[in-house]
Chains A and B, each alone.
Chain A
């Protein structure tokens, strides 16, 4: 097992190097200039421009800029944001819990709805239930997030008034962050009303962000279930006279879940990507919205370090999934 983890870890190093190059190159291939973007309507004088360029090291050859950046990363220095002048690492981890909270809720929604729908569709294969749920899944998968978010917001928040329009919690609650996770913080403060408010604020963003993973999970569950339902052991279970429900829930679903869990793990990157749009629509103060703002301000430092951190997190999550998978299924370790 230890060997397996070490092998996986060794693979991470070249990946990290690749990511650092991509993150570094990404902002630089965007048109625009970080120094000019910092200045406002009046611009900067050519002399001042040169001074600032030198100060930030943007006058150096590109390879040297890259090595300075990587040198900083190796020492844990992620730089200071050009726009806000605050350390990028502080900003990132102030906002990160909001994104994680949203992503977890979205995943919870996707699994809680997607798995039962997938199972139902497989069991009732070919029926109208199957057709309907797979059509809905296809629609969900093709849904443009921005449009879908605005549509839900206009109907449920503006028209019906059932859910809040945006934000993380009603503004009448003023709680100092402890963990950064609003649901946990409100409970730590012992404020039940605030907890309910935070939960209500999570509903729409979680549905919007969870829609695509839901569709993927439902389809994956359906196909995995169909495969498993044709296996000998399921036939044996049926032959033993077990109830249909027991056969599906205990014998089939358990085995069908293995590929589904992998799918869920792979959705993490997708969730972080989707979070960019969802957070923008719902004014959710997470890293997605922060990245968009940083890109539009050509904040090189925030973008390159932010992308690197996000990529690292996705990698760590995938590593954990791999390890868990190996724990569940020992055959994988040998391969």
Chain B
């Protein structure tokens, strides 16, 4: 009995401790452990949330809740007439975090900016391979080495970036996580002690929060950086409680063990929405799920066959069945929230009879093909296997036999890239930087064949439009070009555009001012907790 009383008293004390401590702390049930805390080589969304959006800043930033670019560590910039030179004026007096392992002696300056890019760019930089087998995935993936000619320090607070050719998406690239600015002074200190690896585990940035502690696979603790250039954050402590299972995250949110969580399981959303302690924010995802025809393989090299096969698919039924209310039918490659979206484009209507006729006209009968289904669930396609089954049934109705094939995820993508791949291939894309080129250029430029152009589609006219749009800095002109590109894209039908998915963010009602990013990132800047 005495033990029972003691236990109860202790539980009450614990509850009290929780109650008082929560006043200024925000607990985020994150979905996975970060690989480390250096945003340069990272690739996962959870990695970026734990580093780039908490510990670091960039020269330019995406405004909260949009893909509009606003000043970050650069308070202003100028772009030369020819679009080749970008001159950034750095914000004066920006402090780096003071940590038990590092005390900065100077503010942010041009050396830090140069170092942040050169370490990813120049193979002779001692930091280029400071961790075994690391790759600067995004720096390479966004083709920065090909785009940049030089980065120079003009003075302590001025940096000049010169490009090889005009490249309108460059500014948006610089707002991406990989372009986070790190401390050169800290890197030098580590280099002097020969302990380069600590750069990724003991981070030093200029960002709104600084790392306090990371317990592997369990919890990450941050505290608000008191000298943050934009002022201290409203919350004092930010905690990432790593919880990999989506249903368990939902239970923790309901039980009050965390305040906010990403990626709820579709089945849990109605329960969360029905809970009067919670709010579920939702936003259109900047993504696309699609099925790419191999346009070099007969009979898919015939545009009418592609159109017929697309017309034979009841897309609405698929979206209703597979996305469970979290999807929106896609007629264009880019989602409607992205600038330059062409709403005038008319999608191919579901019409099995017309499809049959088109196939007959094209001389295709008794077609048998492979149909590829991704082995994993992705926001842009939660269940590719089910989608494949529905398409298989729709195609059977027009006399096309589809055999569903699938491989392990990395193997799947590798095989999908091959130009001699047989059969239509399900895949998708989540936007990196809010620029249409990140969809059109990355996925369907001729240069992307064998990399991410799964349709092996190289159309001269389309290529001309998107390359011109990339090289032009005038937004109105770019919009017009991308609108034309979308019309042509629908006419040519290299892919069946399936759906854009919605993204949900459930949180406790006491969480205030959280804004969902269309880029799918999670940032807690400006978020506060109601008393």
Chain A interface residues (CB < 8 Å from chain B): 30-33, 36-45, 48, 52, 55-56, 80, 82-86, 91, 94-95, 150, 153-154, 157-158, 161, 164-168, 170-174, 176-177, 192-197, 200, 280-283, 285, 289-290, 293, 298
Instruction: Tell which of B43, B131, B218, B248 touches A153, judged by Cβ atoms closer than 8 Å.
Output: B248
Residue of B with least CB distance to A154: B251
Besides the known contacts A82-B133, A170-B18, A281-B245, 15 further A-B residue pairs in the complex with CB atoms under 8 A apart: A33-B410, A39-B137, A41-B141, A42-B137, A91-B216, A157-B251, A158-B254, A167-B243, A171-B257, A173-B17, A194-B14, A197-B14, A290-B217, A293-B217, A293-B244
Contacting pair A170 B14 (CB below 8 A): yes
A285: contacting residue among B22, B216, B248, B251, CB under 8 A: B216
Decide: A95 near B137, CB < 8 A? Known: A32-B410, A280-B245, A283-B245: no
Q: A85, B216: Cβ atoms under 8 Å?
A: no
The 3 closest A-B pairs by CB, nearest first: A40-B43, A42-B141, A31-B408
Category for how many chain B residues contact A: 35 or more
- In the bound assembly, the distance between CA atoms of A131 and B218 in angstroms comes to 42
9-residue interface stretch from B5-13, B346-354, B485-493: B5-13
Contact B410 A37 (CB under 8 A): yes
Q: What 0/1 readout, one digit per residue, does chain B (135-147) give for beta carbons within 8 Å of chain A?
A: 1011011100000
Please determine whether A83 and B141 come into contact, CB atoms closer than 8 angstroms: no
A146 to chain B, nearest CB (A): 9
Interface residue B475 (Cβ < 8 Å from any Cβ of A): no
Tell me the bound Cα distance from A48 to B18 in angstroms: 49
Task: List chain A residues, Cβ under 8 A from B18.
Answer: 170, 172
A155 to chain B: closest CB distance in Å?
11
Alpha-carbon separation in the docked complex, A171 to B17 (Å): 10
Collect the chain A residues with CB atoms within 8 Å of residue B217's CB: 95, 285, 289-290, 293
Render B241-267 as a binary contact track against A, CB cut-off 8 A, 1 for contact. Answer: 111110110011011010000000000
B409 beta carbon closer than 8 Å to chain A: yes
For A31, list chain B residues within 8 Å (CB).
407-408, 411
Q: B43–A157 contact, CB under 8 A?
A: no
Residues of B473-498 contacting chain A, CB below 8 A? none
Cα-based distance from A80 to B134 in the complex (angstroms): 12
User: In the complex, A170 Cα to B255 Cα: how many Å?
Assistant: 12
| A171 & B241 in contact (Cβ 8 Å cutoff) | yes
Contact with A along B399-431 (1 / 0, CB 8 A): 000000001111101100000000000000110
Distance in Å from the Cβ of A59 to the closest Cβ of chain B?
13
Question: Across the interface, do A158 and B251 meet the contact criterion of CB distance under 8 Å?
Answer: yes
CB-nearest residue of chain A to B42: A40
B95-142 residues at the A interface, CB under 8 angstroms: 131-135, 137-138, 140-142
Q: A32, A84, A281, A293: which contacts B36 (Cβ < 8 A)? A: A84
Q: Select which of A30, A84, A172, A193 is within 8 A of B10 by beta carbon.
A: A193
CA distance A161 to B15 in the complex (A): 13
Q: What are the residues of chain A within 8 A of B193 when measuring CB–CB?
A: none
Contact assessment for B135 and A196 in the assembled complex, using a CB-CB cutoff below 8 Å: no
Q: Closest Cβ of chain A: how far from B97's Cβ, in Å?
A: 19
With A33-B414, A171-B239, A193-B14 as known contacts, state yes or no: A56 contacts B248, CB within 8 Å.
Answer: no
Identity of the chain A residue whose Cβ is nearest the Cβ of B239 in the assembled complex = A171
- The complex places the Cα of A41 from the Cα of B432 at a distance, in Å, of 10
B202 within 8 A of A: no
Assembled-state Cα–Cα distance A213/B248 (Å): 25
A42 contacts B251, C-beta separation under 8 Å: no
The answer to whether B44 has its CB under 8 Å from any CB of chain A is yes
**Shortest Cβ gap from B8 to chain A (Å):** 9
> Secondary structure of the A side of the interface?
loop
Q: Are A167 and B410 in contact (CB under 8 A)?
A: no
Q: Known contacts being A85-B132, A168-B218, A293-B33, is A32 close to B408, with CB within 8 Å?
A: yes
CA–CA, A162 to B243, complex, Å?
A: 20
B245 touches A38 (CB 8 A): no
Contact between chains at A40 and B410 (CB < 8 Å)? no
Smallest CB separation, A176 vs chain B (Å): 8
Asked, given contacts A40-B44, A164-B255, A196-B11, whether A55 binds B132 with beta carbons under 8 Å apart, the answer is yes
B279 within 8 A of A: no
Docked pose: A263 CA to B251 CA in angstroms: 36
- Give me 9 A-to-B residue pairs in the complex whose CB atoms sit less than 8 angstroms apart, sorted by A's number: A42-B452, A43-B141, A85-B131, A95-B217, A173-B14, A195-B10, A197-B14, A289-B244, A293-B244
Which residues of B are found within 8 Å of A165, using beta-carbon distances?
A: 248, 251-252, 255, 257
Does B184 count as interface, using CB distance less than 8 angstroms?
Answer: no
B131 CB to closest chain A CB (Å) equals 4
Chain B residues with CB under 8 Å of A42's CB are 43, 137-138, 140-142, 452
* Residues from 304 to 331 in B contacting A, C-beta threshold 8 Å: none
Rounded to whole Å, the gap between the CB of B409 and the closest CB of chain A is: 7
Question: How far is B291's CA from A150's CA once the two chains are assembled, in angstroms?
Answer: 35
Q: A residues within 8 A CB of B219?
A: 167, 171
Interface string of B27-61 (1 = CB under 8 A from A): 10000110110000001100000000000000000
Q: Are B248 and A282 in contact (CB under 8 A)?
A: yes
Chain B neighbourhood of A37, CB < 8 A: 410
Q: Which residues of B contact A32 (CB under 8 A)?
A: 408-411
Report how far A42 CA is from B242 CA in the complex, Å.
26
User: Residue on A with the closest CB to B375?
Assistant: A31
Q: Is B75 an interface residue (CB 8 A)?
A: no
Q: In this complex, what residue of B is CB-closest to A167?
A: B241
Least CB separation from B254: chain A residue: A158
Q: How far is the CA of A150 from the CA of B249 in the complex (A)?
A: 12
Given A158-B251, A172-B18, are A285 and B35 also a contact pair (CB < 8 Å)?
no
Residue of A at shortest CB range from B414? A36
Q: A41-B141, A196-B11 are in contact. Are A174 and B213 (CB under 8 A)?
A: yes
- Let me know if B197 is at the binding interface, CB within 8 A: yes
B296 contacts the other chain (Cβ, under 8 Å)?
no
Q: How distant is A116 from chain B, measured CB to nearest CB, in Å?
A: 21
Q: Does B338 contact A (CB under 8 A)?
A: no
- Least CB distance from B107 to A in Å reads 30
Q: Which of B7, B36, B409, B410 has the most CB of A within 10 A?
A: B410
Chain B residues with Cβ below 8 Å from A167 are 218-219, 241, 243, 257
A80 to B36, CA, bound (A): 14
Please indicate the chain A residues that have their CB under 8 angstroms from the CB of B142 in the complex.
Answer: 42
Interface centre among A33, A39, A170, A171 (most CB of B within 10 A): A171
CB-defined contacts of B247 to chain A, threshold 8 Å: 150
**B414 near A174 (CB under 8 angstroms)?**
no
Quick one: which of A43, A85, A164, A196 contacts B134, CB cutoff 8 A? Answer: A85
Indicate if the CB atoms of B408 and A193 lie closer than 8 Å. no
Taking CB atoms, residues of chain B closer than 8 Å to A86 are: 36, 201
**Which residues of chain A have C-beta atoms less than 8 A from B429's C-beta?**
41
Partner of A38, one of B135, B141, B215, B452: B135
Distance in angstroms from A178 CB to nearest chain B CB is 13
Task: Name the CB-closest residue of A to B240.
Answer: A171
> Are B134 and A166 in contact, CB atoms less than 8 angstroms apart?
no
In the assembled complex, how far is the CB of residue A99 from the closest CB belonging to chain B, in whole angstroms?
Answer: 11
- Contact partner of A172 (CB less than 8 A), chosen from B11, B17, B413, is B17
**Proximity string of chain B (431-461) to chain A, C-beta cutoff 8 Å, 1 when within and 0 when not:** 0100000000000000000011000000000
In the bound complex, CA of A104 to CA of B254 (Å): 30
CA separation between A30 and B409, bound complex, in Å? 12
Return B12 CB to nearest CB of chain A, in Å: 9
Contact check, A48 vs B140: say whether CB atoms are below 8 A apart. Answer: yes
Contact A166/B252 with A41-B430, A171-B219, A196-B10 known, Cβ cut-off 8 Å: yes
Chain A nearest CB from B177 CB (Å) reads 11
Contact yes or no, B245 A36, CB < 8 A:
no
Q: B344 contacts the other chain (Cβ, under 8 Å)?
A: no
Contacts of B201 in A (CB 8 A): 86
